[in-house]
A and B are shown apart, each in its own frame.
Chain A
Amino acid sequence: MSEYLDPTDSVAVPRKTAPRPSSLDGKTVTLLDISKAKGDHLLDRIEELLRERARPKAIVRKRKPTFARPAPDELRREIVGATDVLIEALAD
Chain B
Amino acid sequence: MSLADPELTADAIEELYARGVTDGLPVVPPTRERVDRAVAAAGRDAAELVALVPPNYGRATVEKIAVNAVMAGCRPDYIPVVIAAVEAVCDDAFDLHGVSATTNAPAPLVVVNGPLRGTLEVNCGAGVFGPGWRANATIGRALRLVCVNVGGAIPGVVSMSTLAHPGRYTYCIGEHEEASPWESLAVEHGFARGHSTVAVLAADAPLGVYDQRSRVPEDLLATIAASMAVIEHHKMTHWGDTLLVFSPEHAAIVGDAGWTKADVRRWLWERLRRPVRELLPGKDGGDGLPEHVLRKFKDPAHDDTPVPKFRAPENIKILVAGGTAGRFSAIVPGWTFSKGSALVFRQIRTR
Contacts and interface: CB of A to CB of B under 8 A. Distances in A.
8 contacts: A5-B30, A7-B30, A7-B67, A9-B60, A37-B290, A68-B102, A69-B98, A70-B54
A6 B65 CA distance: 11
A5 B340 contact: no
Contact of A7 (B145, B290, B338): B145
A66 B68 contact: no
B97 interface: yes
Contact of B97 (A1, A5, A12, A69): A69
Given A37-B290, A37-B291, A68-B102, A7 B71 contact: yes
A74 interface: no
B32 A5 contact: yes
Contact of A8 (B21, B35, B95, B341): B21
B339 A7 contact: no
B150 A69 contact: no
B340 A66 contact: yes
Nearest to A3: B1
Interface in A24-67: 37, 65-66
A37 B291 CA distance: 8
A4 B29 contact: yes
Interface in B107-147: 145
A68 B16 contact: no
Contacts of A65: 339
Interface string B17-40: 001010000000111100100000
A48 B201 CA distance: 42
Contact of B339 (A8, A11, A12, A66): A66
B152 interface: yes
B56 interface: yes
A9 B56 CA distance: 9
A23 B343 CA distance: 47
A8 B149 CA distance: 5
Interface of B: 1, 12, 16, 19, 21, 29-32, 35, 53-60, 63-64, 67-68, 71, 95, 97-98, 102, 145, 149-150, 152, 290-291, 337-341
B58 A68 contact: no
B12 A4 contact: yes
B334 to A, nearest CB: 12
A75 to B, nearest CB: 14
A17 to B, nearest CB: 15
A84 B338 CA distance: 32
B58 A9 contact: yes
B21 A7 contact: yes
A8 B150 contact: yes
A37 to B, nearest CB: 6
B98 A68 contact: yes
Nearest to A1: B19
Given A5-B63, A37-B291, A66 B337 contact: yes
B341 A3 contact: no
B118 to A, nearest CB: 30
B58 A11 contact: yes
B341 A7 contact: no
B56 A12 contact: yes
Contacts of A68: 95, 98, 102, 337, 339-341
Nearest to A13: B56
A1 B35 CA distance: 14
Given A12-B152, A66-B338, A4 B102 contact: no
Contacts of A66: 337-340
A9 B339 contact: no
A9 B1 contact: no
A28 B22 CA distance: 44
5 tightest CB-CB pairs across the interface, nearest first? A9-B58, A68-B340, A66-B339, A7-B149, A68-B98
A76 to B, nearest CB: 13
Nearest to B61: A9
A70 B97 contact: yes
A12 B55 CA distance: 11
Given A68-B341, A70-B98, 8 more contacts: A3-B31, A4-B29, A4-B30, A7-B30, A7-B71, A8-B149, A9-B149, A66-B339
